[in-house]
């Protein structure tokens, strides 16, 4: 169950270490100061799980928008209404309040779920896409950064690819931002907190905190709640 008493608003690093183990399923989650939630599933081949199991673990996210991102392996997601096969960088945005689904893992896989317990409930069809094939690249940070922003109903999710030596700085924003890397590393800072981001950890950035860093070559994600309103983050 998520912690509804989040009071931390300072920038905070966190580790992607196993918190729950369930017969071939390894789970970690981080809940941020605005309710923005990142869940990481490492799933063994042949493992099945369904929406009711995920709802039992995270009841505060029941009927909330959930963005599923596959970063490793292969799996199927299906319900009575739809079926999607997810390969690397495939995404399903489950927007509807009716989220009866089952996940079948075809290979050892890593899947992230991005949501927030403060999202409005919507009732729309799921959206399927591939980040690299279907999302237009945008120049958010200059030529050494390839950014692919996806605007969900209540969340913004950006896939970034940073070249080695790329330096960047953001003066801060009111949206909560959680950043994590799936390949490579970034020497990152937020306010006075500095640490190297790798696939083992992430950073939850406080409101209006200046942040930036230097890339050693990295691929990863920025998640925002509420979603970004600037045109460069729009579809």
CA 151 vs. chain centroid, Å, equals: 13
163 and 175 belong to one structural domain: yes
According to the model, what pLDDT value does residue 97 have?
66
Residue 30 lies in a domain: yes
Residue 5 lies in a domain: no
pTM over 0.85: yes
Provide the CATH number for the domain around residue 64.
2.60.120.10
According to the model, what pLDDT value does residue 8 have?
58
According to the model, what pLDDT value does residue 144 have?
86
Model confidence at 89, in pLDDT bands (50, 70, 90)? very high
3-state helix, strand, coil in the chain (%, to 5): 5, 50, 40
Does the pLDDT value for residue 27 go beyond 70? yes
154 and 209 belong to one structural domain: yes
Model confidence at 159, in pLDDT bands (50, 70, 90)? very high
Least confident of 47-51, 113-117, 149-153: 47-51
Of 132, 166, 199, the domain-final residue: 132
Does the pLDDT value for residue 153 go beyond 90? yes
Q: Which residues contact 37 (CB under 8 A, 6 or more apart)?
A: 2, 29, 30, 31, 58, 61, 113, 114, 115, 116, 117
Of 132, 156, 191, the domain-final residue: 132
According to the model, what pLDDT value does residue 98 have?
61
The mean of the pLDDT values for the chain is: 92
d(CA 151, CA 172): 19
According to the model, what pLDDT value does residue 84 have?
93
């Amino acid at each position: 169950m998520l912690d509804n008493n989040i009071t931390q608003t300072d920038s905070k690093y966190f580790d992607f270490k196993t918190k729950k183990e369930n017969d071939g399923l390894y789970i970690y989650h981080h809940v941020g100061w605005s309710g923005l939630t990142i869940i990481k599933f490492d799933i063994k081949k042949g493992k099945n799980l369904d929406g009711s199991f995920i709802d039992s673990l995270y009841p505060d996210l029941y009927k909330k928008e959930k963005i599923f991102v596959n970063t490793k392996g292969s799996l199927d997601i299906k319900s009575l209404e739809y079926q999607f096969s997810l390969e690397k960088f495939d995404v399903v945005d489950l927007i509807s309040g009716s989220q009866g689904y089952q996940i079948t893992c075809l290979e050892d896989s890593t899947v992230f779920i991005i949501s927030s317990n403060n999202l409005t409930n919507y009732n729309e069809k799921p959206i399927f896409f591939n980040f690299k094939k279907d999302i237009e690249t945008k120049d958010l940070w200059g030529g050494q950064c390839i950014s692919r922003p996806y605007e969900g109903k209540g969340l913004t999710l950006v896939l970034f690819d940073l070249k080695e030596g790329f330096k960047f700085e953001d003066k801060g924003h009111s949206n909560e931002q959680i950043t994590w890397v799936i390949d490579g590393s970034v020497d990152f800072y937020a306010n006075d907190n500095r640490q190297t981001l790798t696939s083992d950890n992430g950073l939850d950035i406080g409101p209006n905190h200046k942040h930036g860093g230097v890339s050693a070559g990295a691929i990863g994600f920025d998640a925002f709640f509420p979603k970004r309103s600037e045109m460069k983050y729009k579809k």
